[in-house]
Amino acid sequence: MPDDPSLRRFAYRTAGLRASEIRALFSVASRPEVVSLAGGMPDTGALDMDAVSDTLAQVVAHDGAGALQYSGGQGYEPLREQLVEIMHTDGVAAHPDDLVVTTGAQQGLDLLAKLFCDPGDVVIAEGPSYVGALGAFGSYQAEVVHVPMDAEGLDPGALENTLQRLRAQEQVVKLLYTVPNHQNPAGVSLSAQRRQRLAEVAERWDLLVVEDNPYGLLDFKGEARTALRTLIPERVVYVGTLSKIFSPGIRVGWVAASGSIRDKLVQLKEAADLCQSNLTQHVAHRWFSVQPWQDQVAHFREHYRKRCRALTDALSDEMGSVCEWSEPTGGLFVWARLPEGVDTGEMLATAVNHRVAYVPGRAFYADGSGQRELRLNFSYCDEDRLRTGVQRLAEVVHAEIELVQAFGESRADRRPDDS
Ligand code: PMP
């Protein structure tokens, strides 16, 4: 719409905001006949709904007037104490005074991007990285530079090389953003040895680390990994959320940071929305103080472990010869790679026509890579649907590979002839 008068009034920083090319397809993908392996939704249906209902009723019965009020900008103190306990079960130490409650981890990331990033500043992130973080950094015009990862997570040697290169180019690196546990989208965790090496690199290069940990408690074996915040507490800003261990609908997340970072975050939070919803903070507080929440999390873990197994077994059966994928140790996602020449972005429309959806790999890179990669979610569909989804996807993938082999180039490259 070149003659839309609003366009010239928009702030420069909005120029980089793009409507997702795949959003239109996702509205089709959400139709019931489509098996969606695309979203990142936990299975809230696996919650004990009677317990949820009791919790809601008790909040209103015990402190309805308080819960319906504003809260302070830093968040409801009894909840912050509870969140510290939750971090503790995940092996991370913090003090309630250091926590700022946010509207999900996503708002935490947005406020951190707003706090640290000037246009052109560099944020280093795993390649691939969480799409919502890329959006948050991009909306403050930061440049995301990726560091490769493998089955052991981010490669600290490659991180150091990247830091060297960026310094030589006189680029300002503001922070490293990382999801060390059951990463979204790659489904892998940073190994113990690499955590140590990453901590050393951060010390050597005076690097601030944003450690985003939504999935730590969703380890299939219930094992906790040492947090970066435990190794180098003064260098790490920790982001947590209740979305995956209770509910994303209550939108409760938090940032743990001390001193001036915490103070500035409170000011930014107040500027954004005055305070977190007090009602949902009370609900969360009651859930985690009254309900056997650790049993619920153990149930989620087992539930997702089985679903993950169903998905990876189906991948072996249907696409074992043409596809590689990560073997997740927890979390919600499998990351898959198809043969050279396949473009998962191009293939999505065909997949949706075959009633299956996924997220193309390119969404998880700021630099346009990820052409032959894709993310598959296993938390939301039951085992039968996961198998059906993979069967449908396999038909599309095998046909696509035949096409690529026949033409010897990617569909994207052929587009001019196709049209
Ligand atoms: N970080 C990561 C790595 C995520 O995967 C997500 C959600 N998918 C978030 C942050 C945001 O979570 P929420 O805002 O629901 O807390």
Ligand 1 within 6 A of CB of 323: no
Q: In percent, how much of the chain has pLDDT > 90?
A: 87
Ligand 1 within 6 A of CB of 184: yes
**Number of CB atoms found within 10 A of residue 57's CB:** 11
Out of 83, 110, 184, mutate this one to test ligand 1's pocket (max ligand atoms within 8 Å of CB): namely 184
**pLDDT band at 21, cuts 50/70/90?**
low
Q: Whose CA is nearest to atom 5 of ligand 1?
A: 184
Domain 5-47+295-413, classified CATH 3.40.50.80, yes or no: no
pTM (2 decimals)? 0.94
For residues 385-404, b (16+ Cβ closer than 10 Å) or e, as one string?
Answer: bbbebbbbbbebbeebbebb
Ligand 1 within 6 A of CB of 105: yes
Question: What mean pLDDT comes out for the span 299-308?
Answer: 97
Whether 332 has a pLDDT exceeding 70, the answer reads yes
Q: The domain 89-281: what is its CATH number?
A: 3.40.640.10
Length of the chain: 419
- CA 385 from chain centre, in angstroms, equals 23
Give me the residue spans of the domains in the chain. 5-47+295-413, 89-281
Give the Å distance between the CA of 166 and the centre of ligand 1. 28
Whether 197 has a pLDDT exceeding 70, the answer reads yes
Give the Å distance between the CA of 391 and the centre of ligand 1. 29
Query: Contact at 8 Å (CB) between 144 and 366?
Result: yes
Ligand 1 within 6 A of CB of 214: yes
Read off the pLDDT of residues 165-195 as tens digits, 9 standing for 90 and up: 999 999 999 999 999 999 999 999 999 999 9
| Average confidence score pLDDT of the chain | 93
